[in-house]
Structure formats: structure tokens, C-alpha cells
Amino acid sequence: MTTAIVVVVVLVFVAVLVWAVADATRRPAHVWQASGHSQPGWIAAILIVPLFDVFYLVSLRPELASLQQSATTEPHGPPEPQLRADGQALLRVEDLVVEFAARGGQKVHAVAGVSLDILEGETLGLVGESGCGKSTTGRAIVQLPPPISGTVTLAGQELTKLGGTALRRLRPTMQMIFQDPISSLNPRRKVRDIVAEGLEIWSVGDKASRSAKVDEVLDAVGIDPANANRRPHEFSGGQCQRISIARAVVTEPKLIICDEPVSALDVSVQAQIINLLQDMKARYGLTLVFIAHDLAVVKNVSDRVMVMYLGKLCEVGVPDALYERPSHPYTAALLAAIPVPDPETKPDSEKVLGGEIPSPLSPPSGCRFRTRCPKAEAKCAQEEPQMREITPNHFAACHFPLEPGEALDFTKAGTGAFIGLEDGADEDDDV
Ligand SMILES: Nc1ncnc2c1ncn2[C@@H]1O[C@H](COP(=O)(O)OP(=O)(O)O)[C@@H](O)[C@H]1O
Ligand code: SF4
Ligand SMILES: [Mg+2]
């Protein structure tokens, strides 16, 4: 962009120069004599001024470039207060933005300025409804694909600025486990080869030590190494997720992003896999991001829980505080949606969040949750609530956070007069 500006300005100067020289050359000799100057002297003067300007502009290029850089990397709004001091975190994500191109030149605002950090050995639970941007956040952290802006710092290394080779070298230190274990394993390869793949790509040790490591991790996840020559379809869903976990830990990563690792499994198997992840965390010294759409799933495994809605974080806290005293109406709605294990207990319609998550093509103005929030007031449409500390270490982005024990009536959600279609938030957009 900067180069283009300089090129255009230079071309304009050259055109003016050519015109001025041609004009001066055309004038008859008596015009020069009457002015008291020589013709070559005028031409030199015409040439010197614009040439000086061109050289000056070219010399300004570095300043123009740095100005442009600072304009594109300027953070959106104030820094997120839930971040802990610099240097404490293994992973620090600041102002992450991910957008996807959609039909008609529109943009899907999948992640809109998310900031988070995780201390070494912590588990961070990331929760929200389907489509709120959890997987996109997880993938942007491991740079698959990189975010359009924001920073991701893992063990002191800023990943978004790294080129291909430097980033590939760091790949073994950050792994992902996906929701559907069967489709995330290559059906044509033997389980032994699937688990060994990371070691082979990175030429870790020799063939014998690689084989011993594969046996060790398979044994650790509860798969008999004697069955490692079978293919994934010969195992159950839960066993396939164990194999995925073995594949993730074999390279001894620092960070694993578990993207809904139990959502596709039978309820009876879910607890086994969650316990296995806890064991692996202790055994291999892992730091985990645990993504789920259900607050109940992450409660017992997380050191900190973050609730996400339509590309933004709305509440952050330790599980006890967040589950006992939710501050954000959306967190309260998610908690109310946790099923009670009693067939006689029917869901309370006043506590159930209705409606659909709005389209990320044109999110509502102000607070993104306002179209479904029973506490919404005019301010919620006009001003975006910023994340702030409600009680120590408990943060929420809400203009009117809930008081402890305050009940919400979700049957009244979205009926406020100010909640209109003026910003297109409720239009029936297709993504
Ligand atoms: N590759 C893509 N192209 C276009 N839109 C996408 C793409 N990936 C995700 N999205 C959109 O981004 C939003 C967030 O998606 P996702 O991160 O998968 O949500 P979640 O994991 O919370 O269910 C959704 O609206 C989804 O449709
Ligand atoms: S800012 Fe307003 S609309 Fe948003 S959650 Fe709080 S009360 Fe509801
Ligand atoms: Mg997802």
C-alpha cells in the first residue's frame, strides 16, 4: 500500500515535470531574454524542485510503513482486564480477531477481539453455544489458520509473526484433539503409524525409540499396544478418542486444545475420557484448553472458565464463583440449561434461554447478547460492555451484572422497545 502511494506520487511528479520541461523548451528565445534568465537555468529550476520532493517522499517510506503498521495493529478498545501479568502465562492471547469472507462481500465475524491467558499446568474451560466461535478461537491459537489480527504468545514466542518453517518447528509443542474421534483418524493407516506420525515428521529418536514411545503412550491411554496394528474402524468411539489423545501427547506438547473431546461420545464414556485427560495432564505436565458447549462438562476439570457468546467473551472466573454466582445473564442461562438428573423435574420455561444466536455476519450493536437478554436496556444497544472485575478474579462484560441470587425471566427476553431491527442484527442472514 505504501509502495503504491509512492509510485503514484512519483508518476504524477514525472508527468508534471515532462510537461513543464516541454513547455519551457517550446518558448522562443526573446521570452527568456526579457525575463533576464537563460532557458537552461529555468529548466534546471523546474527539474530541481520536483526532484527534491520525490527524493523526500522516498526517504519518508519507512515512516509511512511504520504508521500503517501501527494503524493495523492498534488494539480494539482497552486491554482485557482478565489477563494476568506479563510473563506469568504459558499462553497469552490478546485481541484475537478471526473473520471469514462470505457471499456478497460480507464478513463472518467469528471471533471479535478475544483475550485470554493460561498459566502453565492450568486447564481453561471455554464454553458457549454452537457457532459462538470456540473452535475458531482454538484453531487460531495454533495458527490453523492464523488470526487476521491479535497476538498469540506461547512460552514467550509470538506465533502470529512466525513464518512457515519457524512455525512448523513449534507444531509438536501445541496439539489439538477433535470432537469426532473416528473421522479425525486416517482410516487407511494402522493405529501404530497414526500415533507415530508426529515423531516421524520431526525425526524424534531412532526407529526403536519411536516404537517404544508409541507403546508407552498407547499403554498410558488404555489401548493395548498388541492391538496397534489394527485400523481405527476396528475400535469403538471411546477407544478412538483414546488413540487421538495418544497421538496428541506423543510429541510431548506444552499445550493441547481439546475441541469438544467428549461431545460425540456416549455419556457412559464421557467421564472416562475426561478422567483420562486429567491423568495425561498430570503425567505429561500438560496445559489444556477444554472447549465444550455445556458448562457441566468443564466444571470439574477447569481452573478457570470462560463463557463466550457470538465471538466475544462475556464472563471469566474460577468455577466455584462462576457456577454459584454467575454475573452475566448468558452464563445464568447456560447454567439453567444444565439438565437435572431427575425424570420428574421438568425444565423451568422462565429459566430457559429462547431464540437463536444472531448471525455473526451482522452482530447486534452494543452488547451482542441484548436481543435475548431479559435485563437489556437502551444502554445495552448503544454501548458495548467492557470486561470488568465484579468480585476478585471474577470478570463479566455486562452493564447490569446479576446480583447474587437474582432470578431472570427469559420469557421476557427480547421484548424491550429498543430491541429493533435497526442495525440488521435480527435479519435472517445466511452464512
Ligand atoms: N471456514 C469458515 N468459513 C466461514 N465461516 C466459518 C468458517 N468456520 C467457522 N465459520 C463460522 O464462524 C462462526 C464460529 O464457528 P465455530 O468457531 O465453529 O463455532 P463453535 O465452535 O463455537 O461452534 C460460525 O458462525 C461458523 O459458521
Ligand atoms: S449488557 Fe445489557 S444486554 Fe448485555 S448481558 Fe448485560 S444487561 Fe444483558
Ligand atoms: Mg466447534
pLDDT tens string, the chain, 431 residues long: the values are 444 555 565 566 567 656 766 766 666 665 555 555 666 665 565 556 555 555 555 544 544 443 343 344 444 455 567 898 877 899 999 999 999 999 999 999 999 999 999 999 999 999 999 999 999 999 999 999 999 999 999 999 999 999 788 998 899 999 999 999 889 999 999 999 999 999 998 888 899 999 999 999 999 999 999 999 999 999 999 999 999 999 999 999 999 999 999 999 998 899 999 999 999 999 999 999 999 999 999 999 999 999 999 999 999 999 999 999 999 999 999 998 887 776 676 666 667 787 788 999 999 999 999 999 999 999 999 999 999 999 999 999 999 999 998 988 888 776 544 454 344 444 444 43
Residues 299 and 402 placed together within one structural domain of the fold: no
Determine the pLDDT at residue 163.
79
Label residues 267-297 b or e (16+ Cβ within 10 Å = b): eebbebbbebbeebbeebebbbbbbbbbbeb
Q: How many angstroms does the Cα of residue 372 sit away from the middle of ligand 2?
A: 9
Give the number of whichever ligand sits closest to the CA of residue 259: 3
Determine the pLDDT at residue 11.
67
Distance CA 247, CA 241 (A): 10
Residue 86: inside a domain: no
- pTM for the full predicted model: 0.80
Q: How many angstroms does the Cα of residue 379 sit away from the middle of ligand 2?
A: 9
- Cα-based distances in Å from 99 to 54, 91, 106: 38, 22, 10
Determine the pLDDT at residue 327.
97
By alpha-carbon position, which residue is closest to atom 26 of ligand 1?
Answer: 131
Q: Total domain count for the chain?
A: 3
Domain membership of residue 399 as a residue range: 314-412
Residues 377 and 318 placed together within one structural domain of the fold: yes
Q: Which is the closest atom of ligand 2 to the Cα of 380?
A: 2
Distance CA 3, CA 82 (A): 40
Residues 304 and 250 placed together within one structural domain of the fold: yes
- Cα-based distances in Å from 333 to 110, 309, 366: 22, 12, 20
Residues 237 and 188 placed together within one structural domain of the fold: yes
Determine the pLDDT at residue 356.
83
Q: How many angstroms does the Cα of residue 267 sit away from the middle of ligand 3?
A: 19
Domain boundary residue among 73, 101, 136? 73
Determine the pLDDT at residue 426.
43
Residue 427: inside a domain: no
Q: How many angstroms does the Cα of residue 353 sit away from the middle of ligand 3?
A: 20
Q: Which residues line ligand 1 (CB under 6 A)?
A: 100, 108, 110, 128, 130-136, 360, 431
Residues 354 and 288 placed together within one structural domain of the fold: no
Residues 354 and 237 placed together within one structural domain of the fold: no
Residues 58 and 142 placed together within one structural domain of the fold: no
Domain boundary residue among 313, 344, 374? 313
By alpha-carbon position, which residue is closest to atom 6 of ligand 2?
Answer: 398
Determine the pLDDT at residue 428.
41
Helices (H), 27-90: 29-35, 39-73
Comparing CA positions, the residue from 112, 113, 116 lying closest to residue 84 is 116
What is the tens place of the pLDDT at every residue in 8-18?
Answer: 655 665 676 56
Residues 282 and 371 placed together within one structural domain of the fold: no
Residue 412 half-sphere exposure, CB side, CA atoms within 13 Å? 10
Residue 80: inside a domain: no
Residues 292 and 198 placed together within one structural domain of the fold: yes
Determine the pLDDT at residue 85.
83
Residues 369 and 233 placed together within one structural domain of the fold: no
**CA torsion angle for 319, 320, 324, 327 (degrees, to 10)?**
-50
Three-state SS for 248? helix
Residues 104 and 187 placed together within one structural domain of the fold: yes
Neighbours of 314 (CB within 10 A): 26
- Residue length of the chain: 431
Q: Which is the closest atom of ligand 1 to the Cα of 128?
A: 22
Determine the pLDDT at residue 337.
85
Give the number of whichever ligand sits closest to the CA of residue 309: 1
Residues 19 and 35 placed together within one structural domain of the fold: yes
**Which stretch of DSSP H or E encloses residue 92?**
strand 89-101
400 CB under 6 A from ligand 2?
yes
312 CB under 6 A from ligand 2?
no
Give the number of whichever ligand sits closest to the CA of residue 370: 2
Give the number of whichever ligand sits closest to the CA of residue 376: 2
